[in-house]
Structure 1
Amino acid sequence: MSGTARIGVDVGGTFTDFVLHDPARNLVATGKRLTTPDDPSEAIVAGIARLLDETGLAPGALHSVVHGTTLVTNTIIERTGCKVGLLTTEGFRDSIEIGKETRYDLYDLFLEPAPTLVPRALRLEVPGRLDVHGHELKPLDEAAVARHAATLVAEGVEAIAIGFMHSWRDPRHERRAAEIVRAAHPAIALTLSSAVAPEIREFERISTACANAYAQPRMLRYLGRLEARLAELGVTGALYVMLSGGGIASVQEAKDFPIRLIESGPAAGAMAASWLARQAGLDHVVSYDMGGTTAKMCLIENGAPDRKFEFEAGRVRRFQKGSGLPLKVSVVDMIEIGAGGGSIARVEEGSGLMKVGPRSAGAKPGPICYGRGGTEPTVTDSDLVLGRLDPAYFLGGEMALDLDAVKRAVTDRLAAALRVTPDDAALGIRRIVDETMAAATRMHLAEKGRDPRRYTLIAFGGAGPVHACDLARLLKMRRVVVPLGAGVASALGFLVAPPATDLVRSLVGRLERLDWAKVASLYAEMAEEARALLTGAGADPAAIVFRPAADMRYVGQGFEIPVPLPGMSPTAADVGAIREAFLDAYRERFGRALEELPVEALTWRLAAAAPGRDIDLKGANLAEGRHAARGRRRALFEGHGWQDCDVYDRYALAPGDAFAGPALVEERESTCVVPPGAQVRVDAFRNLVIELPPPREVSQ
């Protein structure tokens, strides 16, 4: 790995994005290709080969490739994982199907539960039991482990999950069972619940283990194929992956714990926005990433995204909380909305109302304008009709868009049914998708007690800059920031994200009664594991920073909140300070705290991270000698009608440039739409900083 160049690769539902950074030449280059859903590595390798050719780099000069994928998410949503078996404690084979015994919709008499990943016939019980303190009540029946493992292998399972009662407290029964299975069946993929999610709550822990086992064989094949193809290309640098919590990890961690990649791609966008916010000195930001399939929003405070430690995957109803599989994984806390460039517009029978999304045209067949067989109008098609996109400059002119086909479809499928003009039908698509995103963002911020008017919107993704100003207007935000290379900013996030991981252990007790020596030993154990993981991801062990926290609650409560701790070796002398930290966190979330009630801790967390790499965008992709102004084009704006807009070359805009809307700023992977009355300046980092006009007064 003698070279300095690195490539970030983001595989999305419609496009695969690339960013190459070579600090030795102060070079930043970008690329975008249609995703190859049947084999994502095909688009990845082809895109990397093209970037290397365009920049004159030899494959062997690459230091590393950092990668994110939706493979795990898609595997669980589409139920395309392997056949999985489960070994569990005697009497508990049905716990993952019983779940929490709650209904995500109280009034639906025909409610469809989230299907389990392991059918009942493949869930086998093993005698043996530990109590909540880790004491052995009944020895593990090793003969039953061997017998049941043989039965599962004979049934054709590719992976086995092992989840025993109270293994979060003491994993020795699970580890011994794994030794027995590996000795007899070395080729089988194994997941231990005590390894993937060593924390309290049996249902969520074993559900996470089953999901990890379900995706593991497919991830092993995918990463193996990708490594082989990169080697054939001549790439000798390391391959890294991004975890759902926003940290960079080794390929081995991805192979062992693929479930930690469940939100890999979306996390990269949040990390890119966090880096951009720190550069621009913005403390209160909403990250807005709109791609071809979905839009993702994330709250970023003081240069860091919110995180959470639970996630629901494979929901029966995509936006209905409680209808999916609960997972104990660290993820960037964001909302994901079925509103992307490929979201399909339709007129519903019966109501006669137009709906947009969440169904998407994806990469195949894609929007009508792509000319790949799509027949239903999408958000991208409406943007083309409204003049926001240049049919001759999509992907820098590599992909011509068919405007006539879109106009025919909008007229026949929407305008005729709605009895409106084609322009109004296209504008209606835009209104609906923007209002959908605004409503979801308002709710997300309200749940956190935040006022969107205090925030700046950082917009990226292929469709993000096209819709950003209208979304900000609906949220009553006054400022929008659009970075250079906005269409591939998620791929940039892979290059600026730090090597990082989140580890967890559970130990339950009231603060006054806890075994603090045991707590300190848990943190020492987690710190040792974190150093090994981050060193494998290329981090300097001496530069790793640890941030301890604990999940705490009042005694008797059903749920807990995360609380930062003063250090990794707390003692009884720190109980007062830890209690005050809990009360402060509780007040911030709920507006009050009950100081007289006893407090207990359940779970101890350790966030470990090494410094991320910095990238200088100030001199990147400059179009030397070119004029920024490229001419004019007409675009339709709500409330303003058709307007003649100045069109600017994004790469020719330099720090200090300023102009007013209406305007269209074009780069290869996206177009930034600036409405009438908005003022734009290019800051020192070549971001477009758009100040929106105040809302117009409504006459009484």
Structure 2
Amino acid sequence: MIAPAPGISLGIDIGGTFTDLVLHDPALRRSGSLKILTTHADPVQGILEGTRRLLGEASVEPGEITRVVHATTLFTNALIERKGALTALITTAGFRDILKIGRERRYELFDLMLRPPAPLMPDALRLEVPERVKADGTVVTPLDLAALDAAADQAVAAGAEAIAILFLHSDLHPAHEEQAARRIAARHPGLSVTASHAIVREMREYERGCTASANAYVAPMAGRYLARLGAELAAMGIAGPLLLTLSNGGMTHVEEAIRAPVQLLESGPAAGALAAAYLAGAQEPRILAFDMGGTTAKLSVVEHGEPEVVFGFEAARQARFIEGSGLPIRISTVDLMEIGAGGGSIARRDAIGLLKVGPDSAGSEPGPACYGRGGLEATVTDANLLLGYLDPSRFAGGRLPLDRRAAQAAMARLAAALGITAEAAAWGIHDVVTEAMASAARTHLAERGRDASGFTLVCTGGGGPVHGYHLARKLGIRRVIVPPEAGVASALGLLTAPPRVDRVATLGRRLLAWRAAELEAAFAALEAEARGVLARGGWAEDAPAPERVVDARCVGQGAHMPVTLPPAPWPTDDAALHAMITEAFTAAYQERFRRPPPAVPIDLVHARIVLRGAARPLALPPARRGWEGPATAHQRQILSGGCSAMADIYSRPGLMPGFSARGPALVEESGSTLVIGGKGRFSVLENGNILVELDA
């Protein structure tokens, strides 16, 4: 594959309710966008329909597209909904229940009805074969090939589409897994085979096994989906390559995405953080990125223009805010707090008579009641329509007119169940879902030792600008930024993603046991592997020196932390290298725990390489100048803070830089509406962003 020359790019972001498409032409400094309902039965069909419509509106020929960058929540939804492939696990004899036992930790100590995260494969398809390698590489029991063949045959006979292989200590000594994977693939062509060491070479079998199982679980679906999407785009005449956004905010090519689709689980949510970092990060050192779509809301911290990246997360949590209630997935990912609070989140009366909103969503099928597609339950979008925040004739650029009567009927039913007025129910929905997001933000920031008041809130997604003002008030945030085309900003953010490869390997020794030459060789091997991935994407000449990270801990500790090390070249003297790593570890420990580490030896757990290519800057169109019409010619009654008010209506494309006004106000554009309450003032910045400043 050859990396495309700068040209017209197409960004596609599939969410639970909407599919967003953005077309960007850097030469002419122009962009076009489209928001359509996601076609869950066949997501590719929605992409193709939206692409044809967007190209037609922009007068762009398919052959002019030089690259397509795609992010999706399809794979993580398959995990959450348990709709992936029937998967088998082949593991070391005596360890078939390792994924069921987990860490034997109760994430809710006093919950007698607690449900632990269940493995992705049924009990009957967790199979064992005799083999055993010790942690020092000694082969205790050779791999029993006859038993391996029998286990694979049993899995295929049961209808398995995928097999995950998890052998003990394969992170250090993968020979048995490699042998097993080759043999199964040769014996059963077409069967998806995932060896755990090929996805994540980290210690701890439970975490490595969950990650490998998740990869196997979504791999057949991902392979079919990406192959078909690429073929359909090519048939349409789009010659540019299909590229995928990773959970860490980087970008990769189709071959790597098909090999390890687990890396894409959080690609959709990561897009919002990318957009916030790019569109506002240069001017704002500390950002809380808030992206609210039709199904979920995502919050992430962006400091100095970079979203925070961590090396693991939990998928499909049983209890959304509680660590340990989900499947541990050991991939690098943007550090996100995600909650079930979107435009389609359903409101209902709970068992004790209180208003509850989400996490279940009406999605796009049937969608909120106001979509007029058969939905009967009141949702957040229905509430926002009845509160006066949304113009029913301009929703989603006028492509999806809203049915006010259907929303009123749904809200009346909910209000009757709660014993309150429909107006109170609508404001209650808006306030409850905003408080849920504020609670998530407080938790997310407190766990990182940060205070919300020091951040600027950057709102993207269709719902972000609608809820951003009231969310900021709850958090004590004084500044809110809303970029142009906020409703599809995530899809635009995809186009800023740099090529990126992360690789990890287990070290598993004390620092003083490592020679400088050995440690250099370990990192060099990871770097060579990472550069090979970039080369296959056509980015071989595009990557600077890699970032070197070591997971380290004090001897006796169970948990480790990532420590960024100075760039190469490193000292060749053992003592000098040990001193360099000790200094880096001490600084990282001090920053994290606000105290120096104890005077004990240091364990090196993992070596990590982060290799990033150059990000492609976007030549965004200049902020438009001139009015579409008089700003105060239109007003609409809204409910803000529980009080009725008349809000001035502004059309965002007509607001020129330097314009400012006080709320209550609504600023409308094709993909979203910015709500400003009576205690806020907004102004249009030179780059086209709108800054909302809240009174103390």
TM-score (norm 2): 0.96
* Structure 2 residue identity aligned to 1:479: R
Q: 1:698 — aligned with what?
A: none
Work out which of the residue numbers 129, 141, 155 in structure 1 matches 2:158. Answer: 155
Work out which of the residue numbers 113, 118, 125 in structure 2 matches 1:115. Answer: 118
Three-state SS of the structure 2 residue aligned to 1:179 is helix
TM-aligned CA distance change 1:540 to 1:484, over 3 Å? farther
Q: Contact (CA 8 Å) 1:630, 1:649: kept in 2 or not?
A: no
Deviations 1:592-635 (A, max 9, x none): 12341221110111111111111132427x47663362732223
* Structure 1 residue identity aligned to 2:288: V
Q: Quick check: 1:62 aligned with 2:65?
A: yes
Q: Contact (CA 8 Å) 1:628, 1:649: kept in 2 or not?
A: no
Between the aligned partners of 1:607 and 1:150, the Cα distance in structure 2 is: 39
Three-state SS of the structure 1 residue aligned to 2:546 is strand
Alignment of 1:432-447 (within 5 A): 432-447=432-447
Between the aligned partners of 2:638 and 2:80, the Cα distance in structure 1 is: 38
Q: 1:650 — aligned with what?
A: 652
Q: 2:43 — aligned with what?
A: 40
Quote the offset at 1:31 in angstroms.
Answer: 0.6
Work out which of the residue numbers 19, 27, 41 in structure 1 matches 2:30. Answer: 27
* Structure 1 residue identity aligned to 2:43: P
Using the aligned pairs only, state the percent identity: 47
Q: Contact (CA 8 Å) 2:280, 2:483: kept in 1 or not?
A: no
Q: Contact (CA 8 Å) 1:523, 1:568: kept in 2 or not?
A: no
Q: 2:593 — aligned with what?
A: 590
Deviations 1:42-80 (A, max 9, x none): 111111111111111111110011001112111111111
Q: 2:285 — aligned with what?
A: 283
TM-score (norm 1): 0.95
TM-aligned CA distance change 1:336 to 1:278, over 3 Å? same
Q: 1:410 — aligned with what?
A: 411
Between the aligned partners of 1:567 and 1:65, the Cα distance in structure 2 is: 33
Quote the offset at 1:392 in angstroms.
Answer: 1.4
Quote the offset at 1:639 in angstroms.
Answer: 4.7
* Structure 2 residue identity aligned to 1:283: P
Alignment of 1:537-576 (within 5 A): 537-568=537-568, 570=570, 571=572, 572=574, 573-576=576-579
Between the aligned partners of 2:516 and 2:89, the Cα distance in structure 1 is: 35
Three-state SS of the structure 2 residue aligned to 1:496 is coil
Alignment of 1:168-207 (within 5 A): 168-207=171-210
**Superposed CA RMSD:** 1.8
Q: 2:382 — aligned with what?
A: 381
Q: Contact (CA 8 Å) 1:632, 1:644: kept in 2 or not?
A: no
Q: 1:125 — aligned with what?
A: 128
Alignment of 1:199-218 (within 5 A): 199-218=202-221
Three-state SS of the structure 2 residue aligned to 1:631 is coil
Q: Contact (CA 8 Å) 1:617, 1:686: kept in 2 or not?
A: no
* Structure 1 residue identity aligned to 2:648: D
Q: Contact (CA 8 Å) 1:272, 1:497: kept in 2 or not?
A: no
Three-state SS of the structure 1 residue aligned to 2:599 is coil
Quote the offset at 1:538 in angstroms.
Answer: 4.2
* Structure 2 residue identity aligned to 1:132: A
TM-aligned CA distance change 1:540 to 1:628, over 3 Å? farther
Three-state SS of the structure 2 residue aligned to 1:664 is strand
Between the aligned partners of 1:283 and 1:480, the Cα distance in structure 2 is: 13
Q: Contact (CA 8 Å) 1:204, 1:326: kept in 2 or not?
A: yes
Deviations 1:319-349 (A, max 9, x none): 3321221111111111001111111111224
Q: 1:322 — aligned with what?
A: 324
Q: 1:697 — aligned with what?
A: none
Between the aligned partners of 2:426 and 2:512, the Cα distance in structure 1 is: 63
* Structure 2 residue identity aligned to 1:566: P
Between the aligned partners of 1:536 and 1:425, the Cα distance in structure 2 is: 55
Quote the offset at 1:186 in angstroms.
Answer: 2.1
TM-aligned CA distance change 1:501 to 1:543, over 3 Å? closer
Q: 2:296 — aligned with what?
A: 294
Between the aligned partners of 1:569 and 1:584, the Cα distance in structure 2 is: 20
Q: 2:429 — aligned with what?
A: 429
Between the aligned partners of 2:517 and 2:168, the Cα distance in structure 1 is: 24
Q: 2:690 — aligned with what?
A: 688
How many residue pairs were aligned?
690
* Structure 2 residue identity aligned to 1:470: H
Between the aligned partners of 1:9 and 1:601, the Cα distance in structure 2 is: 40
* Structure 2 residue identity aligned to 1:539: W
Between the aligned partners of 2:155 and 2:413, the Cα distance in structure 1 is: 55
* Structure 2 residue identity aligned to 1:688: I
Q: Quick check: 1:479 aligned with 2:482?
A: no
Between the aligned partners of 1:143 and 1:628, the Cα distance in structure 2 is: 80
Deviations 1:350-382 (A, max 9, x none): x22111111111111111111111111111111
Three-state SS of the structure 2 residue aligned to 1:132 is coil
Quote the offset at 1:586 in angstroms.
Answer: 1.4
Quote the offset at 1:658 in angstroms.
Answer: 2.0
Q: Quick check: 1:77 aligned with 2:92?
A: no
Quote the offset at 1:109 in angstroms.
Answer: 2.3
Between the aligned partners of 2:367 and 2:298, the Cα distance in structure 1 is: 20
Deviations 1:156-188 (A, max 9, x none): 221111111111112111111122222222221
Three-state SS of the structure 2 residue aligned to 1:551 is strand
